[in-house]
Amino acid sequence: MSWHEKKMYIASMVDKTPTTRKTKNSNSRRSDTKVYYLKVNDKKERVCLKTFLETLGIKEWTVRYWLGEKTTIDNESEPSAVVATETKKESARKYLMALPKLPSHYCRQSTSKLYLEPIIQTKSQLYGLYVDYSVSRNEPVASRKVFEGVLFEENMSLFQPKKDACDQCCAHKAGNMSDEQYIKHIELKDLARIEKTLDKEAARKGTIHALTADLQAIKLCPSLNASALYFKTKLAVHNFTIYNLGTNGVACYWFDETACDLKATTYASFLVDYLTKLLENDPKDVVLFTDGCTAQNRNNIVSNALLRLAMAKNIVITQKYLEKGHTQMEVDSVHSVIERKLKNREIFLPSQYATITKEARKVPSPYRVITPDHTFFKKLCS
């Protein structure tokens, strides 16, 4: 049966009779008694509620909800009620779409939801703000049930996404770190955040180039749902991403293990290639934000490669590292978008990752994808 047929069947198997006895001094709102039937040899036989529910495999609230909808389905003489409900749903949807939302970066492997800012803690608080907003603008107010239905349809949630756990924060929470050390750790984290914000504002004004860079989690090729593939040897594919804070431009370097391995010269080659093209048209100082991974960013090979480029272009290139455990950056949003695009997709060739990345973003501009081969990488020394 379809859902509509199920509703009609339930409605035909339940009779409502007026209550025959009222309890004295009672505030009960029950106006009728429900009598439940099941068909036995094409004959309706009366049964108890428990037998009725367990035979059909439904809950009591489903029966009550469907019986309440019966009059709405059959009553076509009051279309204004349906129109009013749709108007209220549109009002609730318009309000929710206007709220700022957070990407589901830290839950991207298990959910594709969008999260409202953590300022709002509960659905009751969110609904209260919606009511105040609608009343102040003389707009129709949706009921709590309709409002939460729209919240579900738009795939939004109040659940705060999980964050990368910081070892030092966890140690302090467990009582294994002194308050003085923890306070110093938080101060360094805040200083790094402030530094990145100031450089981002300077980049937006056009005085410097501010970049964030990071390596996406390893991808495998082929990537299929077939269980037999689990035991097969697969090719490791990597994506080194650079995000321009001033222009929101993104460059994704997709490469696999046949082109190069994960060593310092690999990342130095990516940075030198990107900066060389960037500085050809707009030569000015560069600030690069990364995490403190030694093999990837915090080593003399990468620093010397950037130093030689700075001397050749007559500019200053500054490397800045975020505090360990608190290295969330704008470049992480690129990886989040790509992984959402890759969800439930079958990958047979490494080149498919590059193709899907190009389709992942439209505004303000598509991601720029580079697929280097083994000739691209330079033999740099410390």
Q: Is 379 among the domain residues?
A: no
Instruction: Please give the average per-residue pLDDT across 227-241, as a whole number.
Output: 82
Q: Indicate if 289 and 305 belong to the same structural domain.
A: yes
pTM of this prediction? 0.62
pLDDT in tens, 116-160: 766 677 888 889 989 998 898 888 888 899 999 988 888 888 765
Residue 201 tokens, joined:
């504002």
**Predicted pLDDT of residue 139:** 87
pLDDT range class, residue 16, cuts 50, 70, 90: confident
pLDDT in tens, 248-267: 999 999 999 999 988 999 99
Number of domains in the chain: 3
- Per-position DSSP letters for 122-184, written without gaps between them: -HHHHHHHHHHHHHHTT-----HHHHHHHHHHTTEE-PPPP-PPPHHHHHHHTT-S-HHHHHH
Instruction: Please give the average per-residue pLDDT across 221-229, as a whole number.
Output: 78
Q: Indicate if 195 and 120 belong to the same structural domain.
A: no
Q: Indicate if 242 and 358 belong to the same structural domain.
A: yes
- Per-position DSSP letters for 17-43, written without gaps between them: EE-S-PPTT------EEEEEEEEETTE
Q: Indicate if 152 and 202 belong to the same structural domain.
A: no
- What percent of the chain stands above pLDDT 70? 86
Q: Indicate if 318 and 194 belong to the same structural domain.
A: yes
**Predicted pLDDT of residue 160:** 59
CA 161 to chain centre: 8
**Predicted pLDDT of residue 1:** 80
Q: Is 147 among the domain residues?
A: yes
pLDDT in tens, 17-47: 877 766 665 566 666 788 899 988 888 899 9
Cα 236–239–243 angle (5° rounding)? 170
**Predicted pLDDT of residue 187:** 93
Q: Indicate if 340 and 240 belong to the same structural domain.
A: yes
Neighbours of 292 (CB within 10 A): 13
Residue 70 tokens, joined:
């019966």
Q: Indicate if 219 and 352 belong to the same structural domain.
A: yes
Of the two residues 4 and 20, the one the predictor is more confident about is 4
Non-local (6+) Cβ contacts of 216 within 8 A are 238, 239, 240, 241, 335, 338
Q: Is 168 among the domain residues?
A: no
Q: Is 344 among the domain residues?
A: yes
Q: Indicate if 92 and 42 belong to the same structural domain.
A: no
368 pairs with which residues across the strands?
Answer: 251
Query: 370: helix, coil or strand?
Result: strand
Q: Indicate if 53 and 95 belong to the same structural domain.
A: no
**Predicted pLDDT of residue 112:** 64
Distance, in Å, from the CA atom of 68 to the CA atom of 263, rounded to the nearest integer, reads 66
User: What Cα–Cα distance (Å) separates residue 61 from each residue in 31, 66, 144, 156, 260?
Assistant: 17, 8, 17, 25, 60
Distance, in Å, from the CA atom of 8 to the CA atom of 259, rounded to the nearest integer, reads 63
pLDDT in tens, 295-352: 899 999 999 999 999 999 999 999 999 998 888 899 999 999 999 898 888 899 999 9
Q: Indicate if 349 and 223 belong to the same structural domain.
A: yes
pLDDT range class, residue 71, cuts 50, 70, 90: very low
- Which of 171, 179, 164, 181 has its CA nearest to residue 291? 164
Domain that holds residue 225: 189-370
Q: Is 55 among the domain residues?
A: yes
Residue 278 belongs to a domain with what CATH number? 3.30.420.10
Instruction: Please give the average per-residue pLDDT across 83-98, as a whole number.
Output: 84
Q: Is 356 among the domain residues?
A: yes
> Torsions phi, psi of 37, nearest 5?
-135, 155
Q: Is 149 among the domain residues?
A: yes
Q: Is 98 among the domain residues?
A: yes
**CB under 8 A, 24+ apart: contacts of 360-367:** 361/250, 361/337, 364/248, 365/248, 365/249, 367/250, 367/251, 367/252, 367/334, 367/338
